[in-house]
Amino acid sequence: MTTTVYAPARTVLRVEIRTAAGWHPVCGLDLLSHGRGVAALLPDGTQAAVFLGRTGDVYAIGNRDPFTGAYVLSRGLLGSAPSAQGSRPFVASPLLKQRFDLATGRCLDDEEVAVPAYRVRVAEVAA
């Protein structure tokens, strides 16, 4: 008699970004570090900056700094700014230091400027 042993099913957590074309996988959640960003190339050729905040929330905004045109927001520093709703997480551009709200993409230093903000989800997928 032969006994077959099956490995237990394993799932991983994957970060996905919503664009007009639907949900797109970016990377495993385990590849993100708290307080650091990564750049992701989206199917339409644009770039997103993806962040794992210190509280565990995942955010995605456009990676292009509108003040310089450089694709560097994923390398910015994370912080939080007081607001009427509590504190708001932001990323400061590594070049000219303008701050962008991670939830809305709005520039906190110039209200007429914003970058795209993307919906993000963390999905369980079979490994």
Q: Residue 8 has what pLDDT?
A: 62
Q: In what order do the strands lie in the sheet with 77-83?
A: 77-83, 86-92, 99-101
- CA 65, 120, 54: angle at the middle one, nearest 5? 75
**CB 27, CB 36: distance < 8 Å:** no
pLDDT at 2 > cutoff 80: no
Q: Residue 87 has what pLDDT?
A: 84
Q: Residue 5 has what pLDDT?
A: 63
**Residues 25, 73: Cα–Cα separation, whole Å:** 20
Give 20-61 pLDDT, tens digit per residue. Answer: 999 999 999 999 999 889 999 999 999 999 999 988 999 999
**CB 19, CB 121: distance < 8 Å:** no
Give 72-94 pLDDT, tens digit per residue. Answer: 999 999 999 887 777 889 999 99
